[in-house]
Amino acid sequence: MRVAVVHDRPCARRSLEALLDGAGHRVLWTAADGLEAARRCAEARPDLLVLGWSGAGGQGPGEVAALVEAVGCPVLVVASSLDRDAPWVFQAMGAGALDAVPLPDACRPGAEGGAELLHRLRTLETLVAGPRPPPARARPELPGALLALGASTGGPRALAVILRGLGLDLRVPVVVVQHVDAQFAGELADWLRKQSGLPVRLAEEGEPPVAGTVLLAGRDAHLRLDPRGRLRYGPEPREEVYRPSVNVFFESLATHWPGSGVAVLLTGMGRDGARGLLALRRRGFHTIAEHASTCAVYGMPRAAVELGAAAEVLPLPRIAEAVRQALLRCQERHRLGRARRELGSVRS
From the candidates 152, 196, 245, 252, give the one annotated as an active-site residue: 152
Per the model's pLDDT, the better-predicted residue between 343 and 287 turns out to be 287
**Which residues contact residue 33 at a Cβ distance below 8 angstroms, ignoring those fewer than 6 apart?**
6, 8, 57, 59
- Report pTM: 0.74
Give dist(CA 156, CA 173) in Å, integer.
Answer: 19
pLDDT in tens, 34-60: 888 888 888 888 988 898 877 655 556
Annotation says 80 is catalytic? no
Selected residue with higher pLDDT from 161 and 128: 161
pLDDT tens per residue, range 95-122: 778 888 888 865 544 445 588 788 888 8
Sorting pLDDT into bands at 50, 70 and 90, what band is 131?
very low
The Cα–Cα gap between 55 and 175 comes to 34
Among candidate residues 181, 260, 272, 291, the one labeled active-site is: 272
Per the annotation, the verdict on 105 as an active-site residue is: no
| Coil, strand or helix at 311 | coil
Domains and CATH numbers, the chain: 2-129 (3.40.50.2300), 147-338 (3.40.50.180)
179 is catalytic: yes
Phi, psi of 225 (to 5 degrees): -95, 130
Q: Strand pairing of 222-225 and 48-52? A: unpaired
Catalytic residue among 179, 222, 286, 291: 179
